[in-house]
Structure 1
Amino acid sequence: MTNDQEGVRPPVVRLDGVRKAYGETDALAGVSLEIRAGEAVAVMGPSGCGKSTLLNMVAGLDRPTSGTVTVNGQDLGELNETGLALYRRRQVGMVFQFFNLLDDLPALDNVALAAQLTGIPARQARRRALELMDELGIADRRNAYPAVLSGGERQRVAVARALMNRPALLLADEPTGALDSRSGEQVMDLLIDLNQIGQTLLMVTHDPLLASRCASRLVEFADGRVVRESAVTDGAEGGGAAAEGAVNVRTAADR
C-alpha cells in the first residue's frame, strides 16, 4: 500500500494509548495503532506478549483500563454490553484457531446462524449462507456436521460464518494453528483472496509464513507494547500467492 493510497483510506481500527492491567501486570502498556480500510495486518510476538488481549479489545470482548478503542468510527468504550454484542454481530467477523462451530448443527446452519442472530429471516439467511459456502468451495458439505469435516473444511465454514453479516473487519486468531500444512495453505489462499477484494483483516499468529503470505503489514509485540512495524513486500496487497481463482465474496467494501 502506498502513502497516497493510505491517505484516502480511513482507519477502520484505531487504538489510542490503550492499557489493560490485570492486577499489577500490564497485558497492554499504552498501545497506539491504526488499521486502515483494505489492510491486512498480522500481529506477532511471543506467548504472553499481549496479542490476544489486543484482539479481544478490538472485538469488544474486553475493555481497556485506560485509552480508547475505535472501530469504524465507534468508540467501543461508549457501548454497554448489549451494544457491544450488537457491534460484534454487525461490524466484526471472527475466525478462531479451533473453529468454534456448533457440533449439533450442520455446516449450513452454522453459517446461517450468524445472520439469524441479527434478525434476518431463516430462509434469507440460509440462502446467503449457501451462496458463501459455494464461493468458498464447500457447498457440497452444507449438510455435513462439524465432526465429519476436515480441519480445512471446518475453517472454511468458520470463515463463511464470519463473513455472513458483511463485516467491516475480519479478526483471525491463529487461523491456521490447528490445521495440517495442506489445509493451512488453503486457508492462507482464502485470506489473501478476501483481502484482494477489499476485506480488512487483523490476524494474530505465531506463524511467520501466514504473516509473510497474507499480511501487508507486520506489527510485532513484546511485553504489551508495539516494538516494530514493517511492510510485508510479499503480502496480500503485494500480489500474494492467490492471483488466480479469487473468491467472489461480497464484503463491507462492496456495500
Structure 2
Amino acid sequence: MTDARTYIQGPTRRPSGSPYLRPMETMVRLRNVRKEYGETAALAGVTLDIRPGEAVAVMGPSGSGKSTLLNMVAGLDRPTSGEVVVGGEEITAMGEAALARYRRRRIGMVFQFFNLLDDLPVLENVTLAAQLLGTPRRQALTRAMELLEELGIADRRNAYPVTLSGGERQRVGVARALMNRPALLLADEPTGALDTRSGDQVIDLLLDLNQIGQTLLIVTHDQRLAARCADRVVEVEDGRIATEAAR
C-alpha cells in the first residue's frame, strides 16, 4: 500500500523549481496585522509565526478576532495594515486573480458547516477543487479516489451529501481540501457542527494529518481538539494575542 504521505501530501521529495516549495523556517508570518471595520478593530496589531509541520489552534471568545485572523491567512480578507506572508509569498501584495490562484494551489480549507454542493455526489465534490485548477479529469478522479480510500469513505463516493452523517461530510470536506496537496490546511471550527463521536473522528483525522507533516491552522472553541491536535495554542482577545502556550 502506498504511504499515506503520498495520498495526502505527494512525494516526500518536492520539486525545486518553485521558491514556495523550498525548505523554510516559517510557513506563515503575520507582522503587525490590523483589520478595521469602521471604528472597530477586529485585529489590533497581530504578530504570529507558524513553522512548517506545526499545528496551531487559535482560540478565544466570539468576536475576539480569531476568524478574521484565519481569513487573513486564507486571503479572503485584506488587512488594513501589516504584512501576511505564506510560504514565502506576501499575499497582502497580491491582486484578486493571484489570490484566487493562491487559494487553489497553496491552501486547503475545512469549514464548520462543510460547504459541500448538495446536487453533486461525493466524488464530484472532491474533484471540483482540482478541476478548478485545470487538472485533467482522469488525474483528478484518481487523486480523489485515493483520498476517499485513505479517509475511509470510498464506499460513499456516489452518495449525495444529504445522505451522509456529519462525520462523513466533514471527511469529504477534508478530502476536498487536500485535493491539490496544499502546504497549509486551514480549519474553521471543524468539529463545531458535529456530535461528540463524529468530532472525535475528525480530531483523530487532523492529528494523523499533522503527524505525517501537514501544517495546520485551526480556529476552534473545542478544548478537546486543541488539547489533542495542537503543538501550540494561541488565545485571542479583543483582536490581540493574549497568550501563547506550547503543549
> Normalized against structure 1, the TM-score is what?
0.87
Name segments (4+ residues, structure 1) moved above 2 Å.
none
Alignment pair present for 1:45 and 2:60: yes
Q: Which residue in the other structure is 1:16 paired with?
A: 31
Q: Which residue in the other structure is 1:97 paired with?
A: 112
Give the distance between the partners of 1:77 and 1:97, measured in 2 at CA.
Answer: 25
Q: After superposition, what is the alpha-carbon deviation per residue over 1:171-209, rounded to whole angstroms, capped at 9, x for unaligned?
A: 000000000111000000000000000000000001111
Give the distance between the partners of 2:24 and 2:195, measured in 1 at CA.
Answer: 36
Q: Secondary structure of the equivalent of 1:212?
A: helix
Q: Which residue in the other structure is 1:166 paired with?
A: 181
Aligned positions of 1:72-87 closer than 5 A? 72-87=87-102
Amino acid at match of 1:221: V
Amino acid at match of 2:136: P
Give the distance between the partners of 1:140 and 1:209, measured in 2 at CA.
Answer: 29
Q: Which residue in the other structure is 2:222 paired with?
A: 207
Aligned-pair identity in percent equals 74
Q: Which residue in the other structure is 2:154 paired with?
A: 139
Aligned positions of 1:212-227 closer than 5 A? 212-227=227-242
Q: Which residue in the other structure is 1:125 paired with?
A: 140
Give the distance between the partners of 1:207 and 1:125, measured in 2 at CA.
Answer: 33
Q: Secondary structure of the equivalent of 1:124?
A: helix
Give the distance between the partners of 1:111 and 1:152, measured in 2 at CA.
Answer: 16
Q: After superposition, what is the alpha-carbon deviation per residue over 1:204-252, rounded to whole angstroms, capped at 9, x for unaligned?
A: 00111110011110000000000100012xxxxxxxxxxxxxxxxxxxx
Aligned positions of 1:171-182 closer than 5 A? 171-182=186-197
Q: Which residue in the other structure is 1:28 paired with?
A: 43
Q: Which residue in the other structure is 2:8 paired with?
A: none
Q: After superposition, what is the alpha-carbon deviation per residue over 1:12-39, rounded to whole angstroms, capped at 9, x for unaligned?
A: 1000000000001100000000000000
Q: Which residue in the other structure is 2:19 paired with?
A: none
Q: Which residues of structure 1 form unaligned runs of 5+?
A: 1-7, 233-255
Q: Aligned-pair RMSD on alpha carbons?
A: 0.8
Q: Which residues of structure 2 form unaligned runs of 5+?
A: 1-22
Count of matched residue positions in the alignment of Structure 1 and Structure 2 = 225
> Normalized against structure 2, the TM-score is what?
0.90
Give the distance between the partners of 1:95 and 1:220, measured in 2 at CA.
Answer: 20
Q: Which residue in the other structure is 1:236 paired with?
A: none
Give the distance between the partners of 2:115 and 2:137, measured in 1 at CA.
Answer: 21
Note the C-alpha offset of 1:10.
1.2
Q: Secondary structure of the equivalent of 2:82?
A: strand
Q: Which residue in the other structure is 1:148 paired with?
A: 163
Q: Which residue in the other structure is 1:114 paired with?
A: 129
Note the C-alpha offset of 1:9.
5.5
Q: After superposition, what is the alpha-carbon deviation per residue over 1:129-151, rounded to whole angstroms, capped at 9, x for unaligned?
A: 00000000000000000000000
Give the distance between the partners of 2:111 and 2:27, measured in 1 at CA.
Answer: 21
Give the distance between the partners of 2:106 and 2:27, measured in 1 at CA.
Answer: 10
Q: After superposition, what is the alpha-carbon deviation per residue over 1:40-64, rounded to whole angstroms, capped at 9, x for unaligned?
A: 0000000000000000000000000
